[in-house]
């Protein structure tokens, strides 16, 4: 049976509080963790199938133009080559996960350097690699002089989320304190550890694809569209995903190409992208140019707030990095101008890379706020506190729980923030300038429709099933806890099975909506099972007090007794609707950082970093903390090193591996301190939790920029702040 629960029904029961196992919010290690770290958890490419062939993608060695011919006959003469696939159904512009439509396209039409246009299939990986490298093909490349590669030159279009209220220019001209600053941020790669990979099997009737994907619930529709094959003829399996960060929200060519090859050749086909292909082909976070204008009264209260951004994407792509997403509600100011423009540029698709929008919008805004605090002559924490609005200033909507003030105050206290106006260059140890900086964090909260099946077995164990994924975020652990809490079971008696489209449709992992959405579906299913159990026990559901598989009413009855060998199985269906019609919902936080900057080399080292975060109910203290830490590590990367570098001559990505694209390593990351506020948010989801996955990287690079200024007096207007810019 299926139980529906609509977020907008006046049903405010706190479902999760009805359980009494007392494991919600506690630390629980990931149940799949041991299998992952010991190499026994099979990733997409590691499944075994008899007679598997290997496909290697061939990518365009030029930026724009046409593939005019492939000499397949010659290719088939090469050792071990079985087929060359260049079917037009192969081309899918990658990785939007429903966030925007991509144009339909011929594989021969090349729009960016590294775009796949063919798959060479051979009897071994080595033979396929060799043949792909030597595939004879011809092409006509357009004259690069006509192709905008530089965001300065591109033609732009307006985005429709723009905000205009009052008269910002007037506010800027008349306010006692103003700043008007322009910043540049570079492109980012998702750089997940597991490369994009697929193993496709076709049994003549049904296609099974093991793939590394974040959203099988959506990817199955994409694949069905691409192949013109009904969804019930497709099964996608993504049980373990070695990181996604947005790059696996949508399908990319390894999946479609493997599927087409398997169907044509009637043998299993495995396609794994090389690290270089992942970097060149999958997608990027757009670079941006952002102008922030802030006008404040004598006390630092904003009367004008402008944030304008220009981002880029390929021609016809709908997605535009939503840089202003949190700016629109974060701070007050009656004269507002928030405009996003997207320009057309021939680099790989720009898509959702972890915390799309806030990841680059918040650091820039928060760096500008630091300049305003200096201009007004007040403490930067105090400046933020004075500008927290009562209601969403752009839409007039109430907020759900709003944790920003608490995060600022508690974070400042735990960090030992010295209150008051600040001056740079106050502390030096030998050749190192030392300074501190802070920034607010915000990340919009989303929830999505989700289904999960919960089965309470006759033996008193439970099973949870959904095609939801765990991309390293803790879904397996959190769902174990939710089912255990509701059904009175220790975690070891709950089995969670994910990432298989033969299970009920989950929400997928993306946009930090995963735990709150799928958790809500599980809690709804469990609540229905509780009602049935209460019936069997002859009591009201509100008296059902279960722990460790037994009723705690003195009767010594166990779940097995109540079930009498009959399992109970319920599909929970969570339909949140669009909560943004009624509320503005966001997770909030505050970052505090201490850096040292070398006065000779301009090298910056982050010495201490603390984040205080509020995201509704904490479901698992350990996995939530890990997400915050992961985000803060990315703050350090985007502040100091991460940058996609394109060759201005032919447009290829110059740093397309983890040796050249610099993510922080252990030596770059100090002990990171995380404070989590525990405050349930009833309007946010049925489990009263908001998103936490991406929150930890939404603003922290700004705290590091502000700390660099406080240390050495250099204001930073470009991210990453490499030593050449600091000097
Ligand atoms: Mo996230 S960048 O929406 O996976």
Asked if the structure places residue 67 within a domain, the reply is: no
What is the C-alpha separation between 47 and 44, in angstroms, rounded?
6
End-to-end CA distance of the chain: 65
Name the residue among 358, 13, 343 with its Cα closest to residue 155. Answer: 343
Name the residue among 241, 167, 174, 253 with its Cα closest to residue 514. Answer: 241
Asked if the structure places residue 481 within a domain, the reply is: yes
83, β-bridge pairs: 121
- CA torsion 357-358-361-367 (nearest 10°) is -170
- Token representation of residue 589: 């936080």
Residues 387, 301 contacting (CB under 8 angstroms):
yes
312, β-bridge pairs: 343
Q: Cα angle vertex 492, ends 488, 496, to 5°? A: 90
What is the C-alpha separation between 203 and 289, in angstroms, rounded?
50
Residues 265, 87 contacting (CB under 8 angstroms):
no
Name the residue among 660, 653, 657 with its Cα closest to residue 115. Answer: 653
| 568/590 same-domain check | no
What is the C-alpha separation between 19 and 124, in angstroms, rounded?
53
- Those residues with Cβ within 8 angstroms of residue 33's Cβ, 6 or more apart along the chain or in another chain: none
CA–centroid distance, residue 510 to ligand 1 (Å): 4
- From the number of C-beta atoms within 10 Å of its C-beta (0-12, 13-18, 19+), residue 540 rates as exposed
Q: Please give the pLDDT value at position 556.
A: 85
Locate the DSSP E strands across 129-249: 137-141, 156-158, 163-165, 177-185, 197-202, 207-211, 234-237
Asked if the structure places residue 611 within a domain, the reply is: yes
State which ligand 1 atom lies nearest to the alpha carbon of 353.
2
What is the C-alpha separation between 404 and 567, in angstroms, rounded?
45
Q: Please give the pLDDT value at position 91.
A: 80
Name the residue among 473, 461, 551 with its Cα closest to residue 517. Answer: 473
**Residue where a domain terminates, one of 512, 547, 575:** 575
Who lines ligand 1 at CB under 6 A? 214, 244-246, 249, 352-354, 356, 510-511
- From the number of C-beta atoms within 10 Å of its C-beta (0-12, 13-18, 19+), residue 394 rates as buried
| 590/722 same-domain check | yes
Digit-coded pLDDT (tens) for 205-228 = 999 999 999 999 999 999 999 999
Number of H helices, E strands in the chain: 17, 29
Q: At what angle do helices 621-640 and 700-712 cross, to 10 degrees?
A: 50
Name the residue among 285, 221, 287 with its Cα closest to residue 251. Answer: 221
Q: In sequence order, what DSSP letters do the residues of 95-130 get, joined into one string?
A: --TTSS------TTEE-STT-EEEEEEESSHHHHHH
**Residue where a domain terminates, one of 508, 542, 575:** 575
Peptide bond just before 87 cis, omega within 30 deg? no
Name the residue among 686, 643, 59 with its Cα closest to residue 360. Answer: 643
| 403/487 same-domain check | no
Report in angstroms the alpha-carbon separations of 236 from 163, 517, 518. Answer: 41, 20, 18
| 510/556 same-domain check | yes
State which ligand 1 atom lies nearest to the alpha carbon of 352.
2
What is the C-alpha separation between 520 and 687, in angstroms, rounded?
5
Asked if the structure places residue 181 within a domain, the reply is: no
Question: Tell me, what CATH number does 652's domain have?
Answer: 3.30.365.10
Asked if the structure places residue 234 within a domain, the reply is: no
Asked if the structure places residue 513 within a domain, the reply is: yes
Q: Please give the pLDDT value at position 152.
A: 66
State which ligand 1 atom lies nearest to the alpha carbon of 248.
4
| Residues of the chain below pLDDT 50 | 10, 12, 97
Q: Is the dihedral of CA 395, 397, 401, 407 positive or negative?
A: positive
CA–centroid distance, residue 248 to ligand 1 (Å): 8
Please tell me whether the overall predicted TM-score, pTM, comes out greater than 0.90 for this model.
yes
Q: Please give the pLDDT value at position 554.
A: 87
Q: Is residue 694 flagged as an active site residue?
A: yes
CA–centroid distance, residue 509 to ligand 1 (Å): 7
| 462/557 same-domain check | yes
Q: In what order do the strands lie in the sheet with 137-141?
A: 109-110, 65-70, 137-141
| 667/701 same-domain check | yes
What domain range includes position 494?
2-29+448-575
What is the C-alpha separation between 102 and 95, in angstroms, rounded?
10
Q: Please give the pLDDT value at position 10.
A: 44
| 454/547 same-domain check | yes
CA–centroid distance, residue 563 to ligand 1 (Å): 41
What is the C-alpha separation between 662 and 654, in angstroms, rounded?
12
Residues in the chain: 727
CA–centroid distance, residue 723 to ligand 1 (Å): 30
Q: How many domains does the chain have?
A: 2
Asked if the structure places residue 663 within a domain, the reply is: yes
Residues 52, 202 contacting (CB under 8 angstroms):
no
- Those residues with Cβ within 8 angstroms of residue 465's Cβ, 6 or more apart along the chain or in another chain: 452, 453, 454, 455, 496, 497, 498, 500, 503, 504
For atom 4 of ligand 1, the residue with the nearest CA is: 246
| 660/559 same-domain check | no
What is the C-alpha separation between 328 and 341, in angstroms, rounded?
15
**Residue where a domain terminates, one of 575, 598, 616:** 575
Say which of 201, 287, 673, 694 is annotated catalytic: 694
State which ligand 1 atom lies nearest to the alpha carbon of 356.
2
- Those residues with Cβ within 8 angstroms of residue 549's Cβ, 6 or more apart along the chain or in another chain: 460, 488, 489, 490, 493, 558, 559, 560
What is the C-alpha separation between 229 and 224, in angstroms, rounded?
5
| 470/389 same-domain check | no
Q: Please give the pLDDT value at position 39.
A: 92
Classified as helix, coil or strand, 503 is coil
Phi-psi group of 261: left, alpha or beta (phi > 0 → left; psi -120 to 50 → alpha; rest → beta): alpha
| 592/717 same-domain check | yes
Residue with tokens 């010295």: 418
The DSSP H or E segment spanning 575 is: strand 568-575
Digit-coded pLDDT (tens) for 637-664 = 999 999 999 998 889 999 999 999 999 9
Residues 451, 504 contacting (CB under 8 angstroms):
yes
Q: What is the CA radius of gyration of the chain?
A: 26
3-state percent breakdown (helix, strand, coil) of the chain, nearest 5:
30, 25, 45
Q: Please give the pLDDT value at position 155.
A: 72
- Token representation of residue 448: 């999505």
Asked if the structure places residue 23 within a domain, the reply is: yes
Q: Please give the pLDDT value at position 1.
A: 63
| 676/707 same-domain check | yes
HSE-CB at 226 with a 13 A cutoff on CA atoms is 31
Residue with tokens 């060695």: 61
HSE-CB at 549 with a 13 A cutoff on CA atoms is 16
The DSSP 8-state label assigned to residue 246 in this structure reads: T
- Token representation of residue 282: 């999958």
What is the C-alpha separation between 390 and 369, in angstroms, rounded?
19
385, β-bridge pairs: none
- From the number of C-beta atoms within 10 Å of its C-beta (0-12, 13-18, 19+), residue 26 rates as middle
| 615/658 same-domain check | yes
């Amino acid at each position: 049976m299926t139980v529906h629960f609509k977020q907008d029904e006046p049903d405010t029961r706190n479902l999760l509080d009805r359980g009494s196992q007392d494991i919600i919010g506690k630390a629980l290690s990931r149940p799949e963790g041991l299998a992952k770290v010991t190499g026994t958890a099979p990733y997409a490419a590691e499944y075994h199938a008899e007679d598997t062939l290997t496909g290697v993608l061939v990518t365009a060695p030029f930026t724009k133009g046409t593939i005019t011919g492939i000499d397949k006959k010659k290719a088939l003469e090469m050792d071990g080559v079985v087929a060359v696939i260049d079917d037009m159904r192969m081309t899918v512009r990658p990785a939007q996960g429903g966030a925007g439509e991509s144009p339909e396209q011929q594989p021969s039409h090349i729009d960016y350097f590294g775009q796949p246009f063919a798959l060479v299939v051979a009897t071994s990986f080595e033979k396929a690699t060799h043949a792909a490298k030597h595939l004879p093909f011809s092409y006509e490349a357009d004259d690069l002089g006509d192709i905008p590669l530089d965001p300065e030159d591109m033609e732009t279009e307006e985005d429709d989320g723009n905000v205009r209220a009052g008269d910002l220019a007037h506010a800027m001209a008349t306010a006692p304190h103003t700043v008007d600053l322009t910043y540049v941020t570079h492109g980012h790669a998702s750089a997940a550890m597991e490369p994009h990979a697929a193993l496709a099997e076709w049994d003549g009737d049904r296609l099974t694809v093991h793939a590394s994907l974040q959203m099988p619930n959506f990817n199955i529709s994409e694949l069905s569209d691409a192949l013109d094959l009904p969804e019930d003829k497709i099964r996608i399996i993504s049980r373990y995903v070695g990181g996604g960060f947005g790059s696996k929200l949508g399908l990319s060519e390894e999946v479609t190409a493997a599927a087409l090859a398997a169907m044509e050749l009637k043998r299993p086909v495995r396609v794994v992208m090389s690290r270089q292909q992942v970097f060149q082909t999958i997608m990027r976070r757009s670079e941006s140019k952002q102008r922030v204008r802030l006008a404040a009264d004598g006390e630092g209260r904003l009367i004008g707030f402008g944030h304008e951004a220009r981002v880029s994407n390929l021609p016809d792509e709908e997605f535009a990095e939503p840089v202003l997403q949190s700016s629109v509600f974060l701070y007050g100011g009656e004269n507002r101008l928030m405009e996003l423009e997207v320009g057309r540029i021939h680099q790989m698709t720009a898509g959702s890379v972890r915390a799309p929008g806030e990841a680059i919008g918040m650091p820039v805004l928060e760096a500008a706020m630091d300049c305003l605090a200096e201009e007004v002559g007040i403490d930067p924490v105090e400046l933020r506190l004075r500008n927290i609005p009562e209601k969403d200033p752009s839409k007039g909507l109430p907020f759900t729980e709003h944790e920003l003030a608490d995060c600022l105050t508690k974070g400042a206290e735990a960090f030992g923030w010295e209150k008051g106006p600040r001056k740079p260059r106050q502390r030096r140890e030998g050749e190192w300038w030392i300074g501190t900086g802070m920034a607010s964090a915000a990340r919009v909260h989303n929830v999505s429709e989700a289904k999960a099946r919960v089965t309470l077995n006759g033996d008193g164990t439970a099973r949870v099933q959904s095609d939801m994924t765990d991309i390293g975020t803790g879904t397996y652990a959190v769902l174990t806890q939710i089912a255990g809490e509701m059904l009175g079971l220790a975690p070891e008696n709950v089995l969670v099975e994910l990432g298989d489209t033969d299970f009920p449709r989950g929400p997928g992992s993306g946009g930090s909506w995963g735990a709150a959405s799928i958790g809500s579906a599980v809690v709804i299913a469990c609540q229905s099972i509780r009602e049935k159990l209460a019936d069997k026990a002859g009591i009201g559901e509100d008296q059902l007090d279960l722990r460790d598989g037994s009723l705690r009413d003195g009767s010594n009855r166990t779940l097995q007794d109540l079930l009498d060998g009959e399992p109970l199985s319920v599909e929970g269906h969570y339909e949140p609707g669009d909560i943004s019609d009624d509320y503005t919902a966001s997770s909030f936080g505050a970052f505090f950082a201490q850096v040292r900057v070398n006065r000779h080399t301009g090298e910056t080292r982050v010495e201490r970093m603390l984040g205080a975060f509020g995201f509704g109910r904490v479901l698992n203290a350990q996995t939530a903390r890990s997400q915050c830490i992961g985000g803060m590590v990315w703050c350090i990367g985007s502040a100091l090193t991460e940058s996609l570098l394109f060759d201005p001559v032919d447009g290829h990505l110059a740093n397309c591996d983890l040796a050249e694209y610099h993510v922080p390593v252990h030596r770059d990351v100090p002990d990171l301190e995380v404070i989590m506020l525990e405050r349930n948010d009833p309007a946010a989801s049925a489990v009263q939790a908001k998103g936490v996955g991406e929150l930890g990287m939404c603003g922290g690079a700004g705290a590091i920029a502000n700390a660099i200024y406080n240390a050495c007096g250099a204001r930073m207007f470009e991210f990453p702040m490499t030593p050449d810019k600091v000097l």
